C-alpha cells in the first residue's frame, strides 16, 4: 500500500512538472513583453525591453524589436543583428541565440510565460498577442 501511494505521488508530480514545460512549437511565434521583473539589475535594458516584441520565427531566425520612444503605438526598431538565429532546448527549457548571444530560460507559472535573460537576470513576462 505504501508503494502504491508513493507511485501515485510520483505520477502527480511528474504530470505537474510536464504541464509547466513548453515545446518548440509552443515557443515559436511573436511574444510581447508585458512586464519586466528585477529591473534594478540592468535598468537601461529593462527600460528598452518594456513593451518590446520578441520574434522566434519557424525558420529559426530571431529578432527583438524595441518600442520607439515617443513613437506611435506600432513604432518599433529592430535591435538584434541581421541573420540572428535561435535554438530551443526543450529538456533545459532554454532559448539560445546567435550573434546577439542571448540565452533565455523559459518558465511557466499557471497561464503566465516568462523569459529570463540569463546574462542580465531580467525576467520578462511575455504573451503571444496573436
Region 75-95 average pLDDT: 88
Domain residue ranges of the chain, discontinuous segments joined by +? 22-127
Query: DSSP string of 81-112?
Result: PTT-BEEEETTTTEEEESSS--EEEEEEETTE
Tens of pLDDT, residue by residue over 95-111, are: 999 887 889 999 999 99
Tens of pLDDT, residue by residue over 15-47, are: 444 447 899 999 999 999 999 998 888 898 898
Question: Would you state the pLDDT for residue 34?
Answer: 95
Share of the chain above pLDDT 90, in %: 53
For the segment(s) 22-127, the CATH number from 1.10.10.60, 2.40.128.270, 1.10.10.10, 3.40.50.720 is 2.40.128.270
Decide: helix, strand or coil at residue 40. helix
Amino acid at each position: 500500500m505504501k508503494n502504491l501511494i508513493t507511485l501515485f505521488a510520483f505520477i502527480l508530480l511528474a504530470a505537474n512538472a510536464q504541464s509547466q514545460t513548453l515545446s518548440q512549437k509552443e515557443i515559436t511565434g511573436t511574444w510581447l513583453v508585458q512586464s519586466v521583473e528585477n529591473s534594478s539589475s540592468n535598468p537601461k535594458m529593462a527600460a528598452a525591453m518594456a513593451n518590446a516584441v520578441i520574434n522566434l520565427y519557424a525558420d529559426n531566425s530571431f529578432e527583438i524589436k524595441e518600442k520607439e520612444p515617443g513613437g506611435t503605438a506600432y513604432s518599433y526598431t529592430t535591435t538584434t543583428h541581421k541573420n540572428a538565429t535561435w535554438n530551443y532546448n526543450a529538456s533545459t527549457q532554454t532559448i539560445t541565440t546567435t550573434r546577439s548571444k542571448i540565452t533565455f530560460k523559459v518558465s511557466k507559472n499557471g497561464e503566465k510565460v516568462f523569459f529570463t535573460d540569463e546574462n542580465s537576470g531580467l525576467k520578462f513576462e511575455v504573451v503571444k498577442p496573436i
